[in-house]
Amino acid sequence: MAQSAQQKSLETDLGGCVTACQQPATGKWYDRRGAVFIEFCIEDSKDVQIKFDKTKLDFSCFGGTDNMKHHNQVELFESIDPNESKHKRTDRSVFCFLRKAESGKAWPRLTKEKAKLNWLSVDFNNWKDWEDDSDEELSSFDRFSEMMNNMGGEDDLPDVGGADDEESADSDDESKISSKNVTFLTRFG
């Protein structure tokens, strides 16, 4: 494919930088049991193109304050399911959801190579050591209920009376002390 004279002139003026002036987008990532999440932090991104491959992610867009071309190509640590992987663009970033091919296997890093990438960091706000956390699947309510159950059973708590009585709240509670309360008061009172 032939380049236009204007593009050749521009490349000459910039020292061949038109095609080489792509820079990687700043990204942060975190791991979960069934997926890996990557957020490319590019404001006002345009022409976002993402290709999910079994072992590779290819991201490109124009954006940022200088409307520069950004391109990231990542050889992934493990395989993903490209058909189940998705992305969402916002005004501030492009968020990618990569469905793991093998759910439940931790990724110690995003990339296959151990090399440190200057554009990539760990999203510590969302990071979780889920391998040690068996309660991840429980909802907050379930965890709260489980904690309350582990604190002690019904037999451990004294009966304070009135909770199960069918008497009205207006009745004279002081004259109707249950035998359990008398026993409790005799032992501890």
Ordered domains of the chain (ranges, CATH): 27-101 (2.60.40.790)
Q: Give the closest residue to 34 by CA, choosing from 95, 88, 80.
A: 80
What radius of gyration, in Å, describes the C-alpha atoms of the chain? 30
Lowest mean per-residue pLDDT among 29-33, 61-65, 114-118, 147-151: 147-151
Write out pLDDT tens, residues 62-71.
998 889 999 9
Percent of the chain with pLDDT over 90: 52
Beta bridge partners of 89: 94
What the block records as the tokens of 150 is 């582990």
- Give the H/E segment covering residue 70: strand 68-75
Write out pLDDT tens, residues 14-72.
444 444 478 999 999 999 999 999 999 999 999 999 999 999 999 999 998 889 999 99
